[in-house]
Copies of this chain bind each other. A is one copy, B any other.
Amino acid sequence: MSVVRPFAPGGDYRWKDVELLRYKTDGSVPFKDVTRQVLFDDPSIAAQLRYFEVSPGGYSTLERHEHAHAVLILRGRGRVLVGSEVHAVGQNDLVSIPSLTWHQFRPAAGESLGFLCMVNSERDRPQLPSAEDLAGLRRDPKIAAFLDA
């Protein structure tokens, strides 16, 4: 791997020698228009640094897991659901996703929302909300409004 991998060699939020992983929306998981790029996955470092980008109108997976997420917003503005709260976020803001806390990122209207996410290399698989979990979340009108945006 090169010591320096330049940003945006062909324009847009891409990096040289970093693969773009585009998730297919197949209806089985609750996300839309999200890409992932693994920026650092050095076996000598116990964590990975990934870049996720959600296109206008999209949203990240609504999920929770044992492992924590350490997030820095790199591009755009949006909102994030963390537990029972919805927070506005913008460029360079820091977001801490605690263990076993439902979370989802959504860009502001007409914007892309891109964020760095540091995470343990060894971690548990995300859990998706059951119908019961979703109904519980939706009982809070502000969460229902967020999920229906």
Contact = CB atoms under 8 A, between A and B. Distances in A.
Residues of A contacting B: mostly: strand
A15 interface: yes
Nearest to A6: B93
Given A118-B45, A118-B49, A119-B45, A40 B96 contact: yes
A29 to B, nearest CB: 24
Interface string A58-89: 00000000011010111000001011010101
B47 A7 contact: no
14 contacts: A1-B96, A2-B96, A4-B80, A4-B95, A5-B94, A39-B72, A42-B68, A45-B47, A45-B67, A45-B70, A45-B120, A46-B120, A49-B118, A72-B116
